[in-house]
Structures are given as structure tokens and as C-alpha cells.
Structure 1
Amino acid sequence: MIAAYLLGSIPFALIIGKLVKGIDIREHGSRNMGATNALRVLGIKWGIIVFALDMLKAGLIIGLFRFNIIPYSEYDLVHPLVYGVCAILGHLFPVFAKFHGGKGVACTAGIILVYQPLLFFISLCLFIIIVAITKFVSLGSLISAFACLIFAVILPNQKKLGSPMFTSGRFDLWLIGFLCTVTIIIVISHRHNIKRLLSKTESKITDREKLL
């Protein structure tokens, strides 16, 4: 779990900001080390790269179990998704960046992509639609997080849908528990965004930012 936390702590937004523009991204834009702030400060290309790397560092952990690089049995006391939560916490509170990190969306997306691809693509489509219509990345992230949890509950037998570490029964309780946990984390990490959305002062992704 410590290794998962340390992997999640790798501050790709900070590293790329210093390599590309010689800046500390924590001193620019929203001062957040997530992909959205990287997009605003560094441009769309580097924002996408930061998002992909943040997905990778968390998804890699689940991938090690999925492809049996690290053996996993349903009788193990610690489920792979627990390591995923540790990686997300590392991203939120990175030891390598004075415990000031991102908001956990990209890491969560990486974990879901590897663990249950169908849920990932449903949530991704919903996220794209919401952001395209409203221009609010935060709103897209929040709604997608809740939608992912809802679909995890209402979809038919997830074993048939390809959940690689599914054990038995109609529901993957580990997945649902994980999604409940990360949804709470995402809501808390977006608490200031929620206040700005309610007061109609939240920043939008503008056409200019899309072209940077």
C-alpha cells in the first residue's frame, strides 16, 4: 500500500510544468496539480499528457493484478482496489510535492479503465457531452463520478461485462465500495468548485484554451 501511495504521489503536472515552461504549476491558474489546471497553464497538449500519465500511474497498479504480474486470489485480505485508493490518496496528498496535489479524477479514471472498461467508456462519453455543452470540467467530473457509481449498480452481471477480478454474485461489492469512496473523495476535492458552480462564478474551458 505504501508503494501504491508513492506511485500515486508522482507529481506529473509539476514535473512537466518545470520541464516545459520552467514554472511551478502550483503558482499558476487554480494552483492545482490536476490535468485541468495543466491544460489552462500549459496548453491542451500538455494537459492531455498530464491526464494520461495520472491515469497511468493509478491504472498500472490494477493492471499488475489484472494481468497476474502480481498474483491475486479472492481470498486475499486486501483487494486490488484498496491499492487503487492508496494511489488516489497519493495523488491528492503527494509526499513529493508537499502534500498539495490534484483532485483524483484522472487516477480514478485510470483505475476504472483497467478494472471495468465498460464503466469507463460510459463515464467518459457522459463527461465529454457535459463539458461540450456546459464548458465546466468540474461539473463533468462530478456528474460522471456519480453516474459511474449508478451504472455499476444497475448494469447486469458484471462478470459477463469483463470485470477481471469479479468473484461471485450479481454485484461486484468491492467495485461499488470503491466507487462510493472515490465519489466522496471527488466531491470533497471539488468542494470549492461546487460553491463556484452554485454562485455561477466557476471558470469555463474557453475556445482559446482549447487551442493553446
Structure 2
Amino acid sequence: MIIAYLLGSIPFALIIGKLVIGIDIREHGSRNMGATNAVRVLGIKWGIIVFALDMLKAGLIIALFRFNIISFQEHNLVHPLVYGAIAILGHLFPVFAQFHGGKGVACTAGIILVYQPLIFLIGLCIFIIIVVSTKYVSLGSLFSAFACLILSIIIPNRKVYSGPLFTNGRFDYWLIGFLFIVTIIIIISHRHNIKRLLSKTESKITDREKLL
């Protein structure tokens, strides 16, 4: 669990900001260490790289179980999604960045991609449609989070994992519970964005403070 937290704590937006142009991204744009702020400050190329790396650090943990690199039965471990949730907490409160991190969207996407790819693809399509049509990344993040939660109930359990603590019935209650908690976390982390959306003062993805 400590390894999951430390992986989630790696502040890729901060690292890339300092390596590329020598800035602390927490002092620019929205002062958030997520991919959206990286796009605004560093440009779309580096923003995409930050998003991909944030996905990777959380998805990697799930992949270790998904492809049997780590066996649940052999190590008597808790469900992989628990480790994924801990990685998200590491991203939100990174020990390597004074506990001031991102909002958890990219990490969640990485976990869903490995655990349930179909839900990821549908959620990604919803995200892209909303962002392209409204230019609000926060709105796309919120809607796609809700969509993934609903899809986890609609789409049958793929039985990716097996074991005494794993769900093998019609519903994957671990995934449903995970996405329910993560959706609440994403809403809380976007609470200021929601207020700005309601007051029509939210920044669009096209509003950039590009320093590069």
C-alpha cells in the first residue's frame, strides 16, 4: 500500500514544468498539478504527456494484477482497486509536493483503462464530446465520472479477477463501490470549478497561460 501511495505521489506536472521551462506549475494558471493546468501553462503536447504519465502511474498498479505479475492468491492481498484508490489519494495529496496535488481524473482513467477497458472507452468518448462542444474540461471530467459509475452497473462483470474477495456474479461490486467513491472525490476536488461553472466564470481549455 505504501508503494501504491508513493507511485501516486509522483508529481509529473511539477517535474515536467521544472525540467522543460524551469517553473513551478503550482504558481501558474489554476495552480493545480493536473493535466488541464499543464495544457494551459506548458502547452497541449506537455499536457497530454502529463495526463498519460498520471494515467500510467495508477494503471500500472492494476496491471500488475491484471496480467498476473502479482498474484492475489499467492500474496493474500486486498482487491487491486483498493491499491488504485490509494494511488489516487497519493495523487491528491502527494508527499513529494507538500501534499498539494491534482484532482484524480487522469489516475482514475488509468485504473479504469486497465480494469474495464470498455467503460474507459465510452467514458473517454463522453469526455471528448463535452470538452470539444463546451471547451470546459471540468464539465467533461464530471460527466464522464458519472457516466463510468452508471456504466459499471449496466455493463456485465467481465470476471477479470477471481478469489475469495472478488465478485464473480452479475455485478462487480468492487468496481461500483470504487467508482462511487471516486466520483464523490472528483466532485469534491472540482467544487470550485462547479461554482465557477454555475456563475459562468470557469476557464475554458482555450484560455492559456502558455510560458513555453
Unaligned 5+ residue runs, structure 1?
none
Q: CA RMSD in A?
A: 1.9
Q: Which runs of 4+ in 1 moved over 6 A?
A: 207-210
**1:165 aligns to what?**
161
* Structure-2 change in CA distance of 1:148 and 1:209 (3 Å): farther
Native 8 Å contact 1:10 1:96 kept in 2: yes
CA contact (8 A) 1:44 1:209 kept: no
Structure 1 residue 206: Cα displacement: 1.6
How far, CA to CA, are the matches of 2:73 and 2:129 in structure 1? 38
Show the counterpart of 1:84.
84
SS at 1:54's partner residue? helix
Partner deviation per Cα, 1:79-137 (whole Å, 9 max, x = no partner)? 00000000000000000000000000000000000000000000000000000100000
Deviation at 1:158, TM superposition (A): 2.2
Structure 1 residues 38 and 125 mapped into 2: Cα distance closer, same or farther (>3 Å)? same
**Aligned positions, number:** 207
For 2:182, what is the secondary structure of its paired residue? helix
TM-score normalised by L of structure 1? 0.93
Matches within 5 A, 1:113-128: 113-128=113-128
Question: Would you say the 8 A contact 2:157–2:168 is kept in 1?
Answer: no
- Give 2:3's aligned residue: 3
SS at match of 1:147: helix
CA distance in structure 2 between the partners assigned to 1:131 and 1:209 by the alignment: 19
Matches within 5 A, 1:57-72: 57-72=57-72
Q: Is the 8 A contact 1:127 1:144 kept in 2?
A: yes
**TM-score normalised by length of structure 2:** 0.93
Unmatched segments (≥5 aa) in structure 2: none
Q: Could you tell me how far 1:209 is from its partner in structure 2?
A: 8.1
